[in-house]
Amino acid sequence: MVEKKSRGKIAATVEELIREPVQGAGYLLWDVDYYKEGADYNLLVTIENPDREKPIDLDDCEKVSRLLSPILDEADPIQDMYYLEVSSAGLERNLTRPEHFEFYLGSPVSVRLYAPLNGTKNLAGTLVAYDDDAFTLEVEGEQTILKKDAVAKVLTAQEL
């Protein structure tokens, strides 16, 4: 049985192994997750199109899956039997990494805070700046700097 900490290490190893081939195929590697569901282990590779206006479709997922299978078979970074799943980041993408925030600068996002700010835990605005510790959200013409450790979740939004 693979412990949760080891699963994170496996995901990081796989991510390092597949980042360049995924990018070489014309996609962004959004995330890699290795998790257990029931008795099965799953490797979930999430991809994004560099052109945000063009959504990922089933053909894209199949293309990346076919690309990754031989790479993973040869490198063999996972001891257990697992299922490979390649997926789109979805309509509401969870922004968790610096490259996610950079990719969505100038875009609408919704933010859920751990503690209320001006009476609310939920904000929606435009992501206008980002650094390692904080990001700036513009809401109705006013900019608010939010420390990342105060934020529970940041999701892309379709419209404000």
Contact 85, 44 (CB under 8 A): yes
Number of H helices, E strands in the chain: 3, 8
- Tell me what pLDDT residue 93 has: 84
Q: What is the pLDDT of residues 132-151, one digit of tens each?
A: 899 999 999 999 999 999 99
State how far the Cα of 112 lies from the Cα of 140, in Å rounded to an integer.
17
Binning pLDDT at 50, 70 and 90, where does residue 2 land?
Answer: low
SS3 state of residue 5? helix
What global pTM score does this model have?
0.80
pLDDT, tens digit, 9 for 90 and up, residues 24-36: 999 999 999 999 9
The order of strands in the sheet holding 134-139 is 142-147, 134-139, 120-130, 108-117, 151-156
Q: How many residues does the chain have?
A: 160
Q: Decide if pLDDT at 10 tops 90.
A: yes
The mean pLDDT value for 38-44 works out to 95
